[in-house]
Amino acid sequence: MNRLPRTRCNILSLYFISVSLVGLFLLAPLTFSVPTLKLCFSWQKPVVALIFGLICLLGIIAGVYPSKCSQMLHFQKNFHSMNTHNAERVSVGEGAITFEGHHPNCGNFSAHVFQFGGKMHCAGCTGLVMGAIVSLCGTLVLFFAESLFREIGIVLFWLGFLGVALGLLQYNLFHLCRSSIHLFLNVIFVLGAFLLLVGIEELASNLVLDVYLLTLTLYWILTRMLLSQLEHRKICVACGLESCRFLE
């Protein structure tokens, strides 16, 4: 019963990660060969910075209200519906399971949440919000600065490349046993996208490449949200608590 859902989750994860990584790896040859295709306008940098800033704002909203911005709301409804059916068994045999934010208070999700101010917070969403806030501030600098980052454009590009790659592969490369690691990887994931934008602006300043990166950034965000949902599903499907196996 568990094998089929886990297989589907793995296939979906592999597909979205593969597409995201192909798009990321194409950025390097496109950026460093783009002088022969140079297409730049005087209004390009502020407009691109404005659009990226709007993407950051959307990311902040998605991080603050994850249940309203994803199918996780349906996930919770299924969970509470199942708990209603199995209330006696869950409370007597295994201990009551409730939701804190958009995670069940199950120990299997301890690496996904942390406590602050007397409340439980999602490490992934908090990391995305923190990264988006810093990137938004950096976007304001990019909006007004002409060539502030020109001397270190290539360094920023490869730092951004590494940040995005680690963020996308966090569930594959790391055993996320601590919420602090989960939080950090999501911070550098968003910062990575911003550093890529700055690096491309300084190295290539090509409108087509900017549009490509902005489109890719939106896809990365959607991929990151989907990967989180699939990871939650795999955790629940692998759980030994029969009454909570509502995702099968």
What are the domain boundaries of the chain?
Answer: 3-34+41-244
Write the pLDDT tens digit of every residue in 34-55.
654 556 667 777 888 889 999 9
Distance CA(217)–CA(55), nearest Å, equals 8
Q: Is the pTM of this model over 0.85?
A: no
Q: Which alpha helices (H) appear in 145-174, and where do they start and end?
A: 153-168, 170-173
Distance CA(8)–CA(204), nearest Å, equals 40
Residues of the chain with pLDDT under 70: 1-6, 8-9, 34-41, 66-104, 107, 110-111, 145-148, 175-177, 239-248
CB 201 within 8 A of CB 156: no
| pLDDT reported for residue 88 | 36
